[in-house]
A and B are shown apart, each in its own frame.
Chain A
Amino acid sequence: MPDNNRPLSPHLQIYRPQITSILSILHRITGVVLSFAALLLAYWLASAAYGPEAFARAQAFMESGFGRFVLFGFTFSLFYHLCNGIRHIGWDMRFGFELPTLRFTGVIVVLTASALTIITWLMAYGHVGKL
């Protein structure tokens, strides 16, 4: 295919990783991860529609060690994508493009997403009393 012989711009490994580029690709990665979270939500709802046995199987998966690991990843992905999404909307409204602002809002997003993830899990399992 002639398409494959076209000259390429310098690729990813040429550039030094910076907080701006890392957070940018993290937005995409968490977005793709959240697509799988959407599938899990569809499965969860469908299992409840099928009946008690199917729902119990879904719950058992989500309460397993692997299930909780996945859910924890989904939780952080959601909060990161949500917070960084607000950052994106800010850029769309021409706000926050200066490099120091860019770095500052990036750090805020990571800290907020991490805090919200931890708070969510403490709230979820705090009142059940098992973690």
Chain B
Amino acid sequence: MINTPQEQRILQSKLGRVRGLGSTREGVHHWWAQRMSAVALLPLALWFVFSVISLTGSDYASFTAWAGEFGNSVFLVLLVVTMFHHAQLGLQVVIEDYVHSEIWKVGLLLFVKYGSVVFGFSAIFAILKISIAG
């Protein structure tokens, strides 16, 4: 395991050194979460587009009937959760890259994080209300 003289002087384990690296001190977690949510969004987004195609021009009754169907409700909730999570992760990177003023950066990051939770939860409760309360 210990190969070089430099590594011999470091008492911290390799895992310990790798954890918490990077400018945000969270290692590869953000990168990995972005990829995992992207892979999950692939089928969910395609399902959503296909559904919306068939929903074009539908009225209130047919839309709520579609969204209230068990399988559709589940997929909608999964889509909303994954989509807002992925969007939040992506917007975070964009803000970190382009907004250099510390106060604006932190403010925008909070806005995006809280905003995605507020809108994501609103969407989920809307789906549940359509699905359960009718």
The DSSP consensus for interface residues of chain A is helix
Whether B80 pairs with A42 at a CB distance below 8 angstroms is: yes
A-B contact count (CB 8 A): 87
Whether A42 pairs with B125 at a CB distance below 8 angstroms is: no
Interface residues on B, range: 35 or more
Whether A41 pairs with B56 at a CB distance below 8 angstroms is: no
Contact surface of A with B, Cβ cutoff 8 Å = 1, 3-4, 28, 31-32, 34-35, 38-39, 41-42, 45-46, 48-49, 51-52, 55-56, 59, 63, 75, 78, 82, 85-86, 88-89, 92, 120, 123-125, 127-128, 130
Answer yes or no: B90 CB below 8 A from chain A CBs: yes
Contact A41-B80, Cβ < 8 Å, known A48-B60, A125-B56? yes
**Least Cβ–Cβ distance between B54 and chain A, in angstroms:** 8
**Least Cβ–Cβ distance between A35 and chain B, in angstroms:** 4
Whether A42 pairs with B123 at a CB distance below 8 angstroms is: yes
Please list 15 pairs of residues, one from A and one from B, whose beta carbons are closer than 8 Å in the complex, sorted by A's number.
Answer: A31-B94, A32-B94, A35-B91, A42-B122, A45-B123, A48-B63, A48-B67, A48-B126, A55-B64, A63-B57, A82-B42, A92-B35, A124-B52, A125-B56, A127-B56
Answer yes or no: B38 CB below 8 A from chain A CBs: yes
**Least Cβ–Cβ distance between B130 and chain A, in angstroms:** 6
Q: How far is the CA of A4 from the CA of B41 in the complex (A)?
A: 39
A85 proximity list for chain B (CB < 8 A): 38, 42
B94-134 contacts to A, CB under 8 A, are 94, 100-102, 119-120, 122-123, 125-127, 129-130
B102 proximity list for chain A (CB < 8 A): 3
Q: How far is the CA of A38 from the CA of B88 in the complex (A)?
A: 11
